[in-house]
Structure formats: structure tokens, C-alpha cells
Amino acid sequence: MNFKSKGLISLEIDDEIYDYKLYDTLKSLSKTYSQRKSAKELGISHAVLNRRIKKAEDKLGIKLVDKIGSGSVLTKDGIGILNEFQHYYNQISKTTNITIGGGHIVSGLLESISQPYELSVYSSNDLNSFKLAERGVIDILALDDPLIAFEKDLNFTPIGFDYLVLITNKNSHEIKSINDLSNLNFVSVAGSAQRLAWNTLEHYDINYNISKTVNSQFDAFKMVKNSDNLYSFLNASYFKGSDILKHDTRHAISLVQINEEKEEIVDFIEFLLNDGQKEIIKQGFSSI
């Protein structure tokens, strides 16, 4: 899957994604006042440009372009949408600041390490971060778990490795072997690498129960520590626990470059792969 935006943005309006082609069209028409001139400027036929406008108008249920005499002008709604495009374009293109959306674990890492780049980091789960990448409003997609990258055929770069540890309460019974995990109640964290733990338990025919699902590993940690009968598998880089499934849950934390126009992004990733490895190890991860 070719997911790279090449610095071009998309805008989500009423759950519909409008890509940079609509932005280019509106921007050109705002200057030329002519569909034929804009089509020539964009290197497409007049018919293609007209269909592009009509398709967007039909989806939105509003007029974007009005005919005036032999020319074309943007409507008030057309100008409003162009301004929205321009707002996001200014955010991602006219600054050396690198905007990153990623999972809680890798986002925390990138915010913690000492590095010479100016970053804006937005922390969520991998799925929500992927949606930001689809909209083209981030420069880098940072993944706690490479699953989405495999599913979407994304070109990702591992920057370190982590594994999962078993989190228990001090009053819970001692876990000495994988068989001791049978029939326990677990807290699941949406969008995390816990799939590796569940897959392992299923591989060994260990029955388990997901009794709670939360969005943050930190919430899962609190719940387990405040309960005598809840357990969870969380990232070893942030939490201390049993490494009973260490070898089965080792996974890469990785980056997907979305914006190809900023040279700083390539330099930043190169830094992480070289000098930055010392910083990554300091934060509890394994080097690549």
C-alpha cells in the first residue's frame, strides 16, 4: 500500500475524505477564475476538473463553484473549505517542526529522549494515529505495534524493540509457569501489542478471560494494582513485571514517514537509527 502523502494533505468533512486534488483545484480557481485555465495549470482535462468539482459538491450537498459569465468563482462555502485546507497545509509545510502522531509508548519515548529536533507529538493508540496519517495532518506515524503497518502494507522503520511483562497485584497468587495463567482475568489495552500475549496463550491452549478493556496502559496498570484478581501484559520499557512471555512478545516500535517533503524527517529518523540508539536504550528499549 502506497501510503506516503508527499507533503500533500487530505481533509475530512462529514466522514468523507477529500484529498489534495480538490485543494489544488479550489486554490487554482481562486486565482484563475477559469476552469479551463485551472485544468491547464493542473495538467488535466477540463472534463476531469469539472467532474472533480461536481463529485465533491454532490458529497457535500453544497455549491463550491459558481459560473459568472464565461468564468468561475468560488462560492462562500468553496472559500471556507479552501481556507480549511490552507490551515492544515500551513501547519505541516511551512515549519521545520516535525509533527508526530503515535501510540502511547512510542510517543512517550520520542518526547523523553534528548535529540536536536523540534517535535510536536500527539499521543493516542495506533489506530487513531493511523487515522491522522490518513488525513495527512502528521509528518510521522509512530507505532507501538507494527500490526497496522503489516495490514496496510506500509513501509515502516523499526527504531527499537520492546516486550510485554505480566503485571500483578502484590496480593495475587504467584505465577511460576505459563500454566498458572489459566482462567485468569485480564485487562486489555486497545491498540497495544497485547495481541502477542493473547496469541501465545491460545497457542498453548491456556484459557483466559478479558474482563476489562481500556485505552491506556497506565489505566490498565492502575486497575491491576488496585485489584486482587486482575492481570495485564504491559510494555517492559515502562512497567516492571514478570517476563514469563518475554521471548513470545518481543516486538518492534517503528515509524512510518508520511510527509516526504521535509528533509528534517529523514534526518530525524537517521538520528534515531544511529546516535539516538543510546537514548532509546536508556529509556528501557532494546536497540535494533
Long-range Cβ contact pairs of 67-71 (< 8 A, separation 24 or more): 70/34, 71/33, 71/34
Cβ–Cβ under 8 Å, residues 55 and 46: no
pTM of the predicted model as reported, rounded to 2 decimal places? 0.69
Tell me whether residue 29 is exposed, middle or buried, using C-beta atoms within 10 angstroms of its C-beta: 0 to 12, 13 to 18, 19 or more.
Answer: buried
Between CA 108 and CA 171 the distance in angstroms is 30
CA angle 7-9-15, nearest 5°?
155
Handedness of CA 103, 141, 191, 153 (dihedral sign): negative
User: pLDDT of the chain along its 288 residues, tens only?
Assistant: 443 434 455 665 665 666 678 888 998 998 898 999 999 999 999 999 999 999 989 988 899 999 888 889 999 888 888 877 776 666 555 567 899 999 999 999 999 998 889 998 988 889 889 988 887 778 999 999 999 999 999 999 999 999 999 999 988 888 999 999 999 999 999 889 999 999 999 999 999 999 999 988 999 999 999 998 999 999 999 999 999 999 999 999 999 999 887 889 999 999 999 999 999 999 999 999
The dihedrals phi and psi of 104, each to the nearest 5 degrees, come to: -60, -40
pLDDT, tens digit (0-9, with 9 covering 90-100), for 136-193: 778 999 999 999 999 999 999 999 999 999 999 988 888 999 999 999 999 999 889 9
**Sign, Cα dihedral of 64, 67, 71, 75:** negative
**How far apart are alpha carbons 122 and 101 in whole angstroms?**
5
Burial of 259 (0-12, 13-18, 19+ CB in 10 A): buried
Q: What is the tally of helices (H) and strands (E) in the chain?
A: 11, 13
Q: Which DSSP state fits 198?
A: H
- Do 214 and 222 form a contact (C-beta atoms < 8 A)? no
Look up residue 118 and give its three cell numbers: 523540534
